[in-house]
């Protein structure tokens, strides 16, 4: 799932089913990642969500950077723009 992994790289936020979460922990899966490993920890106010490698494996590309995870969540990883 290279395009999903590419969007995860350096993402500061993740839009999950229309709610914006700040990423606290983000790990792009590699050959050492197991199905139960948490690859995303994100927070929105008091809510925290964890996404495991198993949940993102086989995600459906919806286009325009959005993906449907195996658990039904729709996600889009976002990076902040840096202006010089």
Which residues, including other chains, have CB under 8 Å from residue 10's CB and lie 6 or more apart?
Answer: 79
Both tokens assigned to 21: 């979460």
Q: Is residue 18 part of a domain?
A: yes
Is residue 71 one of the residues assigned to a domain?
Answer: yes
Residue 80 confidence (pLDDT): 82
- Within a domain: residue 83? no
Residue 14 is predicted with a pLDDT of: 95
pLDDT score recorded for residue 10 = 84
Residue 19 lies in a domain: yes
pLDDT digits (tens, 9 = 90+) for 8-42: 988 999 999 999 999 999 999 999 999 999 999 99
Q: Report CA-CA distances (Å) from 39 to 19, 48, 58, 81, 84.
A: 19, 13, 14, 23, 30
How many C-beta atoms surround the C-beta of residue 56 within 10 A? 22
**Count of domains in the chain?**
1
The reported pLDDT for the residue numbered 3 is 85
Please tell me the pTM assigned to this model.
0.85
Would you say residue 47 lies in a domain? yes
List CB contacts of 31: < 8 A, sequence separation 6 or more.
none
Residue 56 domain boundaries: 2-78
């Amino acid at each position: 799932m290279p395009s999903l992994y590419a969007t995860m790289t350096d993402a500061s936020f993740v839009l999950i089913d229309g709610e914006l979460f700040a990423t606290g922990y983000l790990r792009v899966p590699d050959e050492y990642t197991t199905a139960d490993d948490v690859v995303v920890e994100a927070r929105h106010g008091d809510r925290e969500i964890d996404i495991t490698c198993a949940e993102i494996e086989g995600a459906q590309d919806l286009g325009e950077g959005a993906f449907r995870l195996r658990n039904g969540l729709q996600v889009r990883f976002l990076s902040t723009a840096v202006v010089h």
